[in-house]
Homo-oligomer: A and B are copies of this chain.
Amino acid sequence: MAKAVVLLSGGLDSATTLAIARGAGFRNHALTINYGQRHRAELRAAAELARSLDVAEHRIFSLDLAGFGGSALTDPSIAVPTEATDGIPVTYVPARNTILLSLALAWAEALGAADSFIGANAVDYSGYPDCRPEYLAAFENMANLATKAAVEGRRFRIHAPLLTLSKAEIIRKGHELGVDFAATVSCYQATDAGLACGRCDACRLRRAGFVAAGVPDPTRYV
């Protein structure tokens, strides 16, 4: 079985991505990054999902992006918006996916893996620049110049199987693959017990997705 590194946040998208990687026959090494985001319930969710989706190994890697500031997800002084906004929202975290994919690349190389999975999505998403297909292609291109593995001929591939799916399509796919959505946390300001606010961008996209998919929404709201 080929090894893969799967970025697992504990949200609905990354859980479905992990289920897809499992379905594709990879031996999965799940990587959760605790970067100082507010919603620590997500980290517990990630651990539960990793177990239920049969990973070979799950690592939680800590780094303090909160120290850099610049995002409502890491800076308590910036409020999480509860209405849709024009442009890129304040929940954007500077260079987040670049850092996550860089760490996935490092672990993949050390493991001897060529494949990494990320739940990036460019349809029902929040307008983050580092979720766009041209960004992911540029990262893959850079990665294939960066490593000893690439020089030796092991081509690094980023799989973003949700990239062109709507939130409803993601939910239907995860449902088919047996993802326990009750264990996922999407809310940007979930309580420590994992209750969702129901009002932030992530909650609104998730709730509308369940309605459109015709799948029962197991989310527990405050």
In the complex, identify which listed stretch (A10-18, A146-154, A183-191, A204-212) lies at the interface while the others stay far away: A146-154
A107 at the interface (CB under 8 A from B): yes
B64 touches A64 (CB 8 A): no
Q: Which residues of A does B touch, CB under 8 Å?
A: 59, 61-65, 67-70, 88, 92-99, 102-103, 105-107, 109-110, 129-130, 132, 134-135, 138-139, 141-143, 145-151
For A143, the closest partner residue in chain B by CB is B98
Interchain CB contact under 8 A, A95 and B106: yes
Q: Which of B64, B94, B103, B149 contacts A99 (CB 8 A)?
A: B103
A146 is contacted by which of B68, B103, B106, B129 (Cβ under 8 Å)?
B129
Number of copies: 2
Known: A92-B148, A105-B98, A146-B97. A69 touches B110 (CB 8 A): yes
A89-B50 Cα distance, complex, nearest whole Å: 35
A-B contact pairs, 12 of them (CB 8 A): A62-B64, A63-B63, A69-B110, A92-B148, A93-B106, A94-B109, A94-B148, A95-B109, A98-B102, A99-B99, A130-B145, A139-B142
